[in-house]
Structure 1
Amino acid sequence: MADAIEIINERDFAVDRQTLYAAFAEPAMLARWWGPHGFTNRITAFDLAPGGQWLITMTASNGTDFHNRWRFDDIVDGAYIRAVHLEPVHVFTLEMRFEDAGSGARLSWRMLFKKTEETEAIRHLLKAANEQNFDRLAAFLG
Structure 2
Amino acid sequence: MPMTTNSAHQATADREIVITRTIEAPRDLVFTAFTDVRHLAQWWGPNGFTTTTRAFEFREGGVWEFTMHGPDGTDYPEWITWREIVRPERIVLRHGESADDPNAFESILTFDDEGEATVVVMRTIFPTAELRDQAVLKFHAIEGGQQTLGRLAEYAMNQNNAEEGQ
**Does the pair score TM above 0.5?**
yes
Q: Does the CA contact (< 8 Å) of 2:112 and 2:118 recur in 1?
A: yes
RMSD over aligned Cα atoms:
1.9
Aligned match of 2:136: 123
Q: Does the CA contact (< 8 Å) of 2:36 and 2:58 recur in 1?
A: no
Of 52, 64, 89, which residue of structure 2 is paired with 1:42? 52
Runs of 4+ in 1 over 6 A off after TM superposition: none
Q: Provide the C-alpha distance between the structure 1 equivalents of 2:29 and 2:129, rounded to a whole number of angstroms.
A: 37
Q: Is residue 2:109 matched to residue 1:96?
A: yes
- The farther-off stretch of 79-88 and 103-112 is 79-88
Aligned match of 1:75: 85
Q: Provide the C-alpha distance between the structure 2 equivalents of 1:139 and 1:133, rounded to a whole number of angstroms.
A: 10
SS of equivalent residue, structure 2 residue 73: coil
SS of equivalent residue, structure 2 residue 126: strand
The unaligned stretches of length 5 or more in structure 1 are none
Matches within 5 A, 1:1-142: 5-87=15-97, 90-123=103-136, 125-141=140-156, 142=158
The unaligned stretches of length 5 or more in structure 2 are 1-7, 159-166
> Larger Cα Rg: Structure 1 or Structure 2?
2
Q: Provide the C-alpha distance between the structure 1 equivalents of 2:68 and 2:145, rounded to a whole number of angstroms.
A: 15
TM-score (norm: length of structure 2): 0.78
Q: Does the CA contact (< 8 Å) of 1:71 and 1:86 recur in 2?
A: no
Aligned length: 142
Tell me the CA shift for residue 13 of structure 1.
0.8
AA aligned opposite 1:40:
T
SS of equivalent residue, structure 2 residue 148: helix
SS of equivalent residue, structure 1 residue 78: coil
Higher helix proportion (structure 1 or 2): 2
Tell me the CA shift for residue 118 of structure 1.
4.3
Higher strand proportion (structure 1 or 2): 1
Q: Provide the C-alpha distance between the structure 2 equivalents of 1:47 and 1:118, rounded to a whole number of angstroms.
A: 28
Q: Does the CA contact (< 8 Å) of 2:16 and 2:132 recur in 1?
A: no
Tell me the CA shift for residue 117 of structure 1.
2.9
